[in-house]
Structure 1
Amino acid sequence: MCRPQHFTVSYTINPWMEPANPTDTALAVRQWQTLYDAYLALGHEVELIDPIPGLPDMVYTANGGFLIDGVAYGAKFRFAERVPEGPAFMDWFRAHGFEVAEPESVNEGEGDFLLVGDVILAGSGFRSTDDSHRELSQIFGQEVVSLTLVDPRFYHLDTALAVLDPVEGPGGVEHANIAYLPNAFDERSQRILAERYPDAIRVSDADGAVFGLNSASDGLNVIISPRAKGFEAQLRARGYNPILIDLSELLLGGGGIKCCTLELRGRA
């Protein structure tokens, strides 16, 4: 995670960002602190990367890379405003014992890459390129399933799909319990998700529009926006424990709970 002490909205690179609207950095820090404290209370270990002046979006650490088994595939951001974040995150990974795979293709890390069991779901359409999906497959040697996003409000995969709990399916077939917003994807991607995850939670447009799917789950506790009321009820019906945390100020930059959380899988 990265404390948002330099958070502001001074440019526009997604539909949520309106520089004319005032932002409250102190409020953003307080809301972020609530999320940080919640992770600690749940028993998770949280490491911090230092915020860099002039890089207000560093708080959205999910975009900084994608890590499996101690290997970090670095980010290569699409927009110039965020490009310096890529090397900063890769330097942090190296300093903390991770092997770094330098990116050749534009990709925005765990914003567009989500690990579901042994499968990597990979988003494209607005930020990460299809070439990055091939690069991802070569680096990790795992199946990569490409999904195309079509609604500019949901420009990263983690705004339209949440991994809730990987489980072992019938006959030993690996699948996972996910939630997603169907209308955020093209028809091909909708078919893929319906076939692979028939028991997935399909979230309403209303809950998607408040970044309800930009959530974090440990397999039981799911941290979500308090405004995603329908999704909260769906989670309870499936036996999950929703934890409601408001990151409304950070949503002004187009990010929520998952955006602020990069999972560090397996230190080298």
Structure 2
Amino acid sequence: LNNARMKKLNDVSINKYKFFNQWYNLYSTLSRMALVYIIPARKGLQDQTYVNNFVVLNTPGRSIAIVSRFAGPERQGESIIAEKFLQDLYFETYKCPCTFEGYPDLKLIRDNIFFGGYGRRTTETALDWISDVFDIEIIKVEMTNDHNYHLDCNLFILDKENVLLSTETVSKESIKAIEKVANIHPVSLDDAMLGICGSLKVGNHVLNSSSSSLDYGKDMRLERVCSRIGLNVFFIDVGEAFKSGGSLACLVTPLNYL
């Protein structure tokens, strides 16, 4: 089992035909908003559908990507596929010497400022290495919840000034650091567990997963926050992916920042 959420799902089966349907619906929606590349699948990589195994930096004049060094050995093969894919797109690729799990733990807020999450997976040392080597400012966010072990489980960047934040799953010192650069729209632990921060932003659109009546309250609260700052929300069912601990955001990684 690759994450704490899966420990509760031993008796839950994933309907692969339903998953393919949901994946194609997401792909079709994204294709109307952006140019979408598909990473080639490799047999034996059980989590490859969660393509967050690298992160692209916001470096003018250069295309730089940092490939993940996963904590779990069962995911190491994904990084090899991702690195070849990125090199075919003429990215400069680098691999952190410490555990670093890619886009889920490094989020651009604006300019050269990123939020970097560390805890159960990505290490604080990895964030220091990235900051030093690539000369970017990383505001560190310490994550304190075993289930929400990636930054995208706890924080979602709405725009250059506003973020959603699960204030119950990060340290108080981290909250203070985030407040210095962004307006925090707090979300509850329940909404965080339902994937409110596992959203994807494309232009002025926010995509989030909604698959049952349990999501209704979370959906309404997300729409309320987004409408205040001029963002549209689209809900797409990726409930089969959620069964193994993956949110909608886990299925996509941006290749540039607009």
TM-score (norm 1): 0.86
**Residue 159 of structure 2 aligns to a residue in which SS?**
strand
Contact 1:94–1:100 under 8 Å retained in 2: yes
Contact 1:165–1:218 under 8 Å retained in 2: no
Q: In the alignment, does 2:237 pair up with 1:246?
A: yes
Pairwise CA RMSD of aligned residues? 1.5
For residue 47 of structure 1, report the CA deviation from its aligned partner: 0.5
Distance (whole Å) between structure 2 residues aligned to residue 140 and residue 156 of structure 1: 22
Distance (whole Å) between structure 1 residues aligned to residue 207 and residue 136 of structure 2: 28
**Deviation digits for residues 180-206 of structure 1 (CA, Å, limit 9, x no counterpart):** 111110111122123332x23212222
For residue 81 of structure 1, report the CA deviation from its aligned partner: 1.2
Distance (whole Å) between structure 2 residues aligned to residue 264 and residue 219 of structure 1: 14
Distance (whole Å) between structure 2 residues aligned to residue 78 and residue 116 of structure 1: 25
Larger relative contact order, structure 1 or 2 (CA cutoff 8 Å, min sep 6): 1
Query: Which letter maps to 1:212?
Result: I
Distance (whole Å) between structure 1 residues aligned to residue 44 and residue 122 of structure 2: 23
**Residue 251 of structure 2 aligns to a residue in which SS?**
coil
5+ unaligned residues in a row in structure 1: which ranges? 1-11, 167-175
Structure 1 segments, 4+ long, off by >6 Å, are none
State the number of aligned residues. Answer: 243
Equivalent position of 2:67 in the other structure: 74
**Deviation digits for residues 55-110 of structure 1 (CA, Å, limit 9, x no counterpart):** 12111112x11112411111100011111111121111112211111221110000
5+ unaligned residues in a row in structure 2: which ranges? none
Equivalent position of 1:193 in the other structure: 178
**Residue 126 of structure 1 aligns to a residue in which SS?**
coil
Query: Which letter maps to 1:16?
Result: R
Identity %: 23
Q: In the alignment, does 2:52 pair up with 1:59?
A: no
Structure 2 counterpart of 1:180, from 144, 149, 165 = 165
Structure 2 counterpart of 1:107, from 100, 106, 125 = 100
Distance (whole Å) between structure 2 residues aligned to residue 121 and residue 140 of structure 1: 15
Contact 2:153–2:193 under 8 Å retained in 1: no
Distance (whole Å) between structure 2 residues aligned to residue 191 and residue 218 of structure 1: 28
Query: Which letter maps to 2:231?
Result: Y
Q: How does 1:69-218 map to 2 (within 5 A)?
A: 69=59, 70-117=63-110, 118-166=112-160, 176-197=161-182, 199-218=183-202
Contact 1:101–1:139 under 8 Å retained in 2: no
TM-score (norm 2): 0.89
Distance (whole Å) between structure 1 residues aligned to residue 134 and residue 238 of structure 2: 33
Distance (whole Å) between structure 1 residues aligned to residue 185 and residue 25 of structure 2: 27
Contact 1:76–1:86 under 8 Å retained in 2: yes
Query: Which letter maps to 1:130?
Result: E
For residue 159 of structure 1, report the CA deviation from its aligned partner: 1.2
Contact 1:114–1:120 under 8 Å retained in 2: yes
Distance (whole Å) between structure 2 residues aligned to residue 139 and residue 66 of structure 1: 15
Distance (whole Å) between structure 2 residues aligned to residue 15 and residue 202 of structure 1: 24
Distance (whole Å) between structure 2 residues aligned to residue 95 and residue 114 of structure 1: 24
